[in-house]
Amino acid sequence: MTVSPSRRQAALAALALDDDALLKACEVEYFIGSGPGGQHRNTTASGVRLTHAPTELSVSATERRSQVQNKGVALERLREGLQLLTFVPKKRHKTQPTKGSQRRRLESKKRVGEKKAQRGNKDGW
């Protein structure tokens, strides 16, 4: 996954914020969750979706029946997502086998070939 430098910088800046400041930087949306959990969960707007505009990262939480608990879970997920955006992969460099390893490989192949040649075929080929 390639991340633009501006998005990575925004994620780093957001990770430095405390929870309240991070919530203020996000668009918070409440919605009615579906699925198991009884009538309370299916009739109240307990689902929480957080969207962090600078990084275009969106997370949601609907596991709990409580809106406050879901907001906490969503905030944790947002921090995990921001942490993933800050990852910078190591630059890979092409390498070539050393002369010694090339020589050893060829010698090994030669020995195997000689072994096979000595087996011979009874039909005379």
Phi-psi region of 33 (alpha: psi -120 to 50; beta: other; left: phi over 0): beta
Query: Reduced to 3 states, what is the DSSP secondary structure of residue 104?
Result: helix
124: pLDDT strictly greater than 60: no
| pLDDT for res 120 | 76
- The tens digit of pLDDT for each residue in 24-82 reads 999 999 998 777 766 766 788 889 999 999 999 999 998 888 899 999 999 999 999 99
Contacts of 2 (CB under 8 A, 6+ apart): none
- The tens digit of pLDDT for each residue in 105-121 reads 999 999 999 999 998 76
Give the pair of three-digit tokens for residue 69.
């608990």
122: pLDDT strictly greater than 70: no
Locate the domains of the chain by residue range: 5-85
| pLDDT for res 44 | 83
Instruction: Please tell me the distance from the alpha carbon of residue 60 to that of residue 70, in angstroms, as a whole number.
Output: 8
Give the pair of three-digit tokens for residue 41.
């969960």
Confidence class for position 1, pLDDT limits 50, 70, 90: low
CATH topology of domain 5-85: Double Stranded RNA Binding Domain (3.30.160)
